[in-house]
A and B are shown apart, each in its own frame.
Chain A
Amino acid sequence: MAGQYTREVAYRIFAQEFRDSNLSFKDSNDQYSPQYLLTPTGAKVNRMLIVGTLTEKEDIGNEAEYWRARVVDPTGAFLIYAGQYQPEAAQVMANIEAPQYLAVVGKPSTFQTEDGTILTSVRPESIHIVDAQTRDRWVVETTQRTLERVKDLNSDNPDAVRAKEHYNTDSSVYRQMALAALESLNTE
């Protein structure tokens, strides 16, 4: 039986907040324990759902295909990397052309550059073509979830406490970002 296994929720994070994130950790030393990325508003992310516009894609692999793509939301861009270990996603990547609305379910991943900067990207579990209405829904939903987390920053939720400690989060920045993203739906 499945026992007590529970699937990780797919968090809704805007690109700007994702780009600002740099705290990656595991809850235990066990090699199979899941990797999390803590965002400035206190989302403890092991999985995320992104719906945005594919604006660029490039095969940067040598022998095997290795796709790098930019998926854009109202606040910025997510970097998506799909190679041989994400065969389904890589196959979709190979067959689509930008621009295109995509829904990406994936895992956050971090990379440290030589000068110490931490870059975030997404390893996709699945990529699917969607339509504009799905993308609008996602923006509304991501605004709601972001504002909920911003509100929760003042609580004693341990993730919120840790996020504030690490990022010294200015909650008004993320609040304004989320609202601006929502308002962008009206002007398009």
Chain B
Amino acid sequence: MNKEIAKEIEERFSQKGYNIPISEIESRLDKLLNEFKVPQEEARRSVVNYFLKEYNIPRGDFFVQQGETPTVKVSDITSDGNWINISAKVVQLWDDTHESIDQAGLMGDETGTIKFNKWAKAELPALEEGKTYLFKNVVTDSYQERLQINFNRTSQIEEITEDIEVNTQQAEAPTVKVSEITTEGKWINISVKVAQLWDSTHESIDQAGLMGDETGTIKFIKWAKAELPSLVEGKSYLLKNVVTDSFQERFQINFNRTSLIEEITEDIEIGTLTVEFSGAMVDIQSGSGLIKRCPECNRALIKGVCGEHGKVEGSYDLRIKAVMDDGVCVQDSLLNREISEQLTGITLDEAKQMATEALDQSVVLEMFKEKLLGKYYLVKGPKLDRSILVEDISLLPPLELDQIDTIIAQMEV
């Protein structure tokens, strides 16, 4: 192996008219590779530079004259830091992410698509979506492990009439599991099931909630401007080109305009770390009991109004947002309809009837409070942000006399 590299180097030097004894090259290479454990490419580079200096060879003589900037296709772009010319069509323009960026988006040719960045200080003409241009002297770059093209002040843009058929088959982002998401800013593909859709927190957010696979769950945010189809709770999807992010020290997944959502038939089972908490139920928060949900987005309605879809004819559901407290910390716990029915012994139908008879939905919450508050429970379930999604809840059993003796013995130590 070393001999081959040495020979290669020797040949390149001799082609340029410099004869270097191969033994000198070999011994130098050997020292780097074996004695100093330098990786092969680094060793090769180091040897070449050493002899260039040693024999006083101008670097320009040795390395191929750069000459014309090569004209390439998108698929030819495989490394960063290269100056290229390229003909491509602007597929998408994205909203500015930063004031230093004049325009950014996606361009492509028949071999694929690539992100581009046009710096504001490059002072280049504005690009239009759907038009084709010849870009001269642009630079390949990589950002968050993806290749992109940057335009700068030396770049030139010429609109051309030729229409390019863009191949939107993108370079695949890696496919990962939820538990593998450990850094922000990564483009990924992931198959998940939507565990929960949350009430809207902001108009710029189309949908937000929780999704997961067998390795865990993660929060997601689908921006309204991404204009993607709606996700449905309980369904599984293959998500392509979503980006990992972190917010308040938790990872999340963001959807953007380049993201793709494909519903899949496989029912993904969500696995999670289950936690336990035992304590007294000290409060049940408003929005519990008999509630109505928006038929479009499943959000809980507030006074018959959905935060997203306005006044809608909601469908009834039961839930309990319980506050558990053990005197040391407070634990929010979320009980869905099934668990709420089990715990209270009141079914959704019975709850509806109670509300109808009383002409008041809040009687259900009142009854839940009366039945549950002040008592001690053990709850189990996956923990999401501040809440436990309760899968199992049981009243703590009465203390036995010998249990009390044991506790006394422990305490007196």
Asked if A185 is an interface residue, CB under 8 A from chain B, the answer is yes
- Cα distance A104–B374 in the bound complex, in angstroms: 7
Residues of A within 8 A of B404 (CB): 136, 140, 182, 185-186
Partner of A51, one of B283, B330, B369, B374: B374
The residues of B that contact A103 with a CB separation of less than 8 Å are 280, 373-375
Would A128 and B399 count as touching, CB distance under 8 A?
Answer: no
The contact of B374 among A11, A134, A142, by CB within 8 Å, is A134
Q: What is the minimal beta-carbon distance from B370 to any residue of chain A, in angstroms?
A: 7
How many Å from the CB of B375 to the closest CB on chain A?
A: 5
Is A137 in contact with chain B by the CB < 8 A criterion? yes
The interface bits of chain A over 175-186 (1 if a CB of B lies within 8 angstroms of the residue's CB, else 0) are: 000110011011
Given contacts A9-B328, A10-B282, A183-B408, 10 further A-B contacts (CB under 8 A): A9-B330, A10-B325, A49-B327, A129-B370, A130-B375, A136-B398, A144-B411, A178-B411, A182-B407, A182-B408
0/1 interface trace, chain B 374-413, chain A, CB 8 Å (1 if under)? 1110000000000000000000111101001101100110
- How near does chain A come to B400, taking the closest CB pair, in angstroms? 10
Specify which chain A residues have a CB less than 8 angstroms from the CB of B78 in the assembled complex: none
Name the B residues within 8 Å of A186 (CB-CB): 401, 404-405, 408
Q: Which of A90-132 contact B (CB under 8 A)?
A: 102-105, 125-126, 128-130, 132
Chain B, residue nearest A48 (CB):
B327
User: Is B373's CB under 8 angstroms from A126's CB?
Assistant: yes
Residue of B nearest to A144 (CB): B411
Q: Mostly helix, strand, loop or mixed at chain B's interface? A: mixed
CB of B296 within 8 Å of the partner chain: no
Contact of B201 with A by CB under 8 A: yes
Q: Which A residues have a C-beta under 8 Å from some C-beta of B? A: 1, 6-12, 49, 51, 102-105, 125-126, 128-130, 132-134, 136-138, 140-145, 147, 178-179, 182-183, 185-186
Q: Does B273 belong to the interface (CB within 8 Å)? A: no
Q: Are B328 and A145 in contact (CB under 8 A)?
A: yes
Contacts of B325 in A (CB 8 A): 9-10, 49
What separation, in Å, do the CA atoms of A11 and B280 have in the docked complex? 11
Q: List 21 A-B contacts (CB under 8 A).
A: A10-B282, A10-B330, A11-B327, A49-B280, A49-B282, A49-B325, A51-B280, A103-B280, A103-B373, A104-B374, A125-B283, A129-B374, A136-B398, A136-B404, A137-B376, A142-B327, A144-B407, A144-B411, A145-B328, A185-B404, A186-B408
Cβ–Cβ contact A9 & B327, under 8 A: yes
Closest CB in chain A relative to B252 CB, distance in Å? 14
- Does B326 reach chain A (CB closer than 8 Å)? yes
In-complex Cβ contact of A137 among B370, B399, B405 (8 A) = B399
- Nearest CB of B to A133, in Å: 4
B399 lies within 8 A of A185 (CB): yes
Closest to B327 in A: A12
Which B residues between 312 and 330 are near A, CB-CB below 8 angstroms? 323, 325-330
